[in-house]
Amino acid sequence: PLIMSLFAEVPQAAPVAVFKLTADFREDKHPSKVNLGVGAYRTDACQPWVLPVVRKVEQLIASDSSLNHEYLPILGLPEFRASSSKIALGEDSPAVQEHRVGGVQCLGGTGALKIGAEFLRRWYNGINNTATPIYISSPSWENHNAVFIDAGFSDIRAYRYWDAEKRGLALPGFLEDLENAPESSIFVLHACAHNPTGTDPTPDEWKQIADVMKRRKLFAFFDSAYQGFASGNLEKDAWAVRYFVSQGFEIFCAQSFSKNFGLYNERVGNLTVVAKDSDSLTRVLSQMEKIVRTTWSNPPSQGARIVSLTLNTPELFAEWKDNVKTMADRVLLMRAQLKAKLLALGTPGTWDHITQQIGMFSFTGLNPKQVEYLIKEKHVYLMASGRINMCGLTTKNLDYVAESIHEAITKIQ
Ligand SMILES: Cc1ncc(COP(=O)(O)O)c(C=O)c1O
């Protein structure tokens, strides 16, 4: 007898755009196809890159017979949590020395955002205060909204960030939105290499942002997915986070090691918590433990071991910084070459933003129709927003991509 499935009423969900784009790219048989959608580093030969330091550390771990597969503590590997927080806040951070910084080892940066969001819903601005406004930059990484909605927040708002006209930061709008936000609102701030715009506030602009946030009593939840990747320099890319802490803010900082260690599928992240005093920190961490226990119970060890061994061994740390710089430098080179090529072609528009933006992504300013043309006619895959991953460019496909962009812009308005 035919019995209807218990799940007959489940609606089909839309695919996640960036993964769908990659699937379409894989099916495309055209020899010149280029994928500028995916959010991962590629070498100049268009291949994924296992950082040499990671290969080395993986072998050290594999041959260390003192290691085993016992459960980690619920909050994670202690030396991983401590060293992660230290690269975010700085070796000599007073907050660290005052024992008011703690970490929660999480499953990637996404896990850190999720655990942080869950904690805030439960324990921030009253108990289970689902009405606390959450402000996400417009535009932002598309997962931000969903993570906070799924954590139970009901009032998700956009703050102005991108000025399309000037292809840069919409600072006046941003400051106005901070000014008008209800007290205790939560602002998700990209620590560096803003995704998708590649546009960060300058130190002076961050100071203005922090001033308003302090006066208006707003909470800063930093998302740090690209430390080192943006400028090639860990300190520079952590400037905003460190500045806020130096100004006395209590913050959360979701750190991802997916990009800067190339450990995408190991799911390694850390939620750094900076509290006013160590007593508050202890209570916060005790609640974090409850949340983790019912979420993944305890985290995986491999990625955390790789990161902590690297960060805690001076020679390996130096080698890692070198590897990160290799990635950042290749991105900077591709930016310069893409801009030069578009200028040489006389492509309408200004292209300074290509080299002004930093990190993995560039917000080209291409409109959805031009994007569609690039995908359909040129086999160049990019997000509908016009975001391109600079790592998808190589010395071999750069001319083709620039000529295709030129064609799309001159043919399609
Ligand atoms: C802004 C931003 N936050 C967080 C993440 C999540 O990183 P992970 O893969 O470590 O979860 C990403 C990854 O694309 C990102 O771009």
- Position 58 in a domain: no
Which of 114, 115, 143 has most ligand 1 atoms within 8 Å of its beta carbon, as the pocket-test mutant?
A: 143
Domain boundary among 252, 277, 312: 312
Residues 231, 368 within the same domain: no
24 is catalytic: no
Same domain, residue pair 103 and 246: yes
Residues 179 and 149 both lie in one domain: yes
Answer yes or no: do 95 and 174 share one domain: yes
* pLDDT per residue rounded down to tens, the chain (413 residues): 678 999 999 999 998 888 889 999 999 999 999 999 988 999 999 999 999 999 999 999 999 999 999 999 999 999 999 999 999 999 999 999 999 999 999 999 999 999 999 999 999 999 999 999 999 999 999 999 999 999 999 999 999 999 998 889 999 999 999 999 999 999 999 999 999 999 999 999 999 999 999 999 999 999 999 999 898 999 999 999 999 999 999 999 999 999 999 999 999 999 999 999 999 999 999 999 999 999 999 999 999 999 999 999 999 999 999 999 999 999 999 999 999 999 999 999 889 999 999 999 998 889 999 999 999 999 999 999 999 999 999 999 999 999 999 999 999 98
- Which residue of the set 141, 239, 320, 351 is catalytic? 141
Domain that holds residue 80: 71-312
The CB of 39 under 6 Å from ligand 1? The reply is yes
- What is the 167 CA–ligand 1 centroid distance (Å)? 23
Q: What pTM, to 2 d.p., does this model score?
A: 0.96
Regarding whether 34 and 85 lie in a shared domain, the answer is no
Please tell me if the CB atom of residue 196 comes closer than 6 angstroms to any atom of ligand 1. no
Based on the fold, state whether residues 89 and 237 are members of the same structural domain.
yes
The total domain count for the chain is 2
CATH code where residue 32 lies: 3.90.1150.10
Tell me if 377 is assigned to some domain: yes
The C-alpha atoms of residue 77 and residue 103 are separated, in whole angstroms, by 10
* Substitution site in 22, 107, 110, 306 for ligand 1 pocket (most atoms within 8 Å of beta carbon): 110
Residues 240 and 182 in one domain: yes
| Cβ atoms of residues 45 and 294 within 8 Å | no
Is 124 in the same domain as 228?
yes
Of all atoms in ligand 1, which is nearest to the CA of residue 257? 10
The reply to whether 61 falls in a domain is no
Q: Do both 276 and 361 map to the same domain?
A: no
Domain end marker among 250, 283, 312:
312
Catalytic residue status for 239: no
Ligand 1 lined by 258 (C-beta under 6 Å): yes
In the reported structure, the alpha carbon of residue 256 is separated from the centroid of ligand 1 by a whole-number distance in angstroms of 7
359 lines ligand 1 (CB under 6 A): no
As a whole number of angstroms, the distance between CA 75 and CA 388 comes to 36
Q: Does residue 222 share a domain with residue 346?
A: no
211: domain CATH number?
3.40.640.10
- Please say if 223 is a catalytic residue: yes
Q: Whose CA is nearest to atom 14 of ligand 1?
A: 39
Indicate whether 323 belongs to any domain. Answer: no
> SS3 letters for the chain?
CCCCCCCCCCCCCCCCHHHHHHHHHHHCCCCCCEECCCCCCCCCCCCCCCCHHHHHHHHHHHCCCCCCCCCCCCCCCHHHHHHHHHHHHCCCCHHHHCCCEEEEEECHHHHHHHHHHHHHHHHCCCCCCCCCCEEEEECCCCHHHHHHHHCCCCCEEEEECEECCCCEECHHHHHHHHHHCCCCCEEEEECCCCCCCCCCCCHHHHHHHHHHHHHCCCEEEEEECCCCCCCCCHHHHCHHHHHHHHCCCCEEEEEECCCCCCCHHHCCEEEEEECCCHHHHHHHHHHHHHHHHHHCCCCCCHHHHHHHHHHHCHHHHHHHHHHHHHHHHHHHHHHHHHHHHHHHHCCCCCCHHHHHCCCCEEECCCCHHHHHHHHHHHCEECCCCCEEEHHHCCCCCHHHHHHHHHHHHHHCC
Residue 57, CB-side half-sphere exposure with 13 Å CA sphere: 25
Taking alpha carbons only, the member of 210, 131, 203, 209 closest to residue 174 is 209
Please give the number of the atom of ligand 1 that sits closest to the Cα of 194: 1
Q: What's the CA gap between 80 and 62, in Å, rounded?
A: 18
